[in-house]
Amino acid sequence: MPVNNPVTGPASGNASAPASDDGHLDISRRRLLGTVGAAGAAGLVIGAAGGAGIASAVSGDDSAPGAGGSPALTSVGATEVAFHGRHQPGITTPLQSRGHLVAFDLAPGAGRKEAAALLRRWSATARTLMAGEAPSGDTGIARDAGPSSLTVTFGFGRTFFDRTGLTARRPTQLDPLPAFSSDAVDPKRSEGDLWVQIGADDALVAFHALRAVQKDAGDAARVRWQMNGFNRSAGATPRPMTARNLMGQVDGTNNPKTTDPDFDRRIFVPADATGAQDWMADGSYAVVRRIRMLLDDWEGLSLEKQERVIGRRKADGAPLSGGSETTPLDLDKRGPDGKLAIPDNAHARISAPEQNGGAAMLRRPFSFHDGIGADGTPDAGLLFVCWQADPLRGFVPVQRKLDRGDALSAFIRHESSGLFAAPGGAAEGEYVGQRLLEG
């Protein structure tokens, strides 16, 4: 579970807005702006176009007009992500504050025809909801809210190809992941024929999409497992910051960035893919792991020991070799005692790309808390989701290395696992997976 790799790097600062004489606008702006990577800054730009959204939100005056004369949305609610595009949404989209992961199995007797009809329904519903609109027969759960950065992402598991008679088009990249010594995987909460990732910056908007997807499944598919997650909410900090996980660690500093020259090559299947992968052009592979954090054990460590387990300062995420959060690790630096500044079994050292032949994956996780167990310990941790062009060159080599001696392994438990192929984005008039199901 690489914990020091962000979905997006820290933003360079906040957009500014003039304060009123009593400072009301400035205080409210801090309350409203996002802190989940770039989501907060993007929301401000969209919501502040014309100024109506900000004025209505901070003054309590809901008369500022939006579309159709209705009150204008705040920046958080107004942010919209496009459904159609080269890649599916929810991969490079800035991390949202709420998420749902759900896997389905095709119902007995359902095959390729039923799967195609289901993906057509799901795509139409996702497109409607992501635009902030209500689908036919809407429940009204998210009434009054805007799109709130909603994304819905679809993927196919290995067994999907058996059920639909498409085994000849199943890529080798979907070969089963190897077993790892730290695994305590529950098969009932793992894998699945179909997988859906939902993210939004509003809890009701996210749940609304989850409910719509479940209803659309109808008789074609049944829920295999479902998991709910969260991240820091927009406006919780005075400036955009890299997120923290439930261990209190800054989580996501070294994630690949879309501006990296080799980003597409590492994260997405090439547009000119051929053979069994032709339908995966511009798509990506998601590894999904439910990672339980043994928080009572972790919190029993001193701050110094926690930092040595990770290899970074807890306060700001800076490497123990010195510098700030974004300073590259100095893996050779030693302290006055002659010992490595970053211990040889520190998580940051073992998971570093330079220690794994350059292996890289785009981590896009959510935290989870599912109550207190019978033994009194919290059932909490990380819904780890990572994206890569080839999991055998991304997730697998890094996890193998971690499995052999990562100091963090004593404080986590991998309880479920899944590998899914998410095809490229749907063009206008298409549904996700059409190139596979109708090719």
Distance CA 122, CA 400 (A): 36
Angle between helices 24-32 and 52-59 (to 10 degrees): 110
Are 280 and 424 in contact by the 8 Å Cβ rule? The answer is: yes
Tokens of 245: 């996980």
Residues 140 and 260: their CA atoms lie apart, in Å, by 41
For residue 214, the Cα-to-chain-centroid distance in whole angstroms is 20
List 105, 193, 216, 251, catalytic entry: 251
302-305-306-310 Cα dihedral, nearest 10 degrees: 170
Helix spans in 60-179 (H): 75-78, 112-130, 158-163
- Alpha-carbon distance of 199 to 194, in angstroms, equals 17
Answer for the pair 139, 211: CB distance below 8 angstroms, yes or no.
yes
Active-site residue 251, yes or no? Answer: yes
DSSP H or E stretch at residue 298: helix 295-299
Residue 315: CB atoms within 10 A of its CB come to 11
Residues contacting residue 303 through CB under 8 Å, at least 6 positions apart = 314
Active centre residues (catalytic): 251
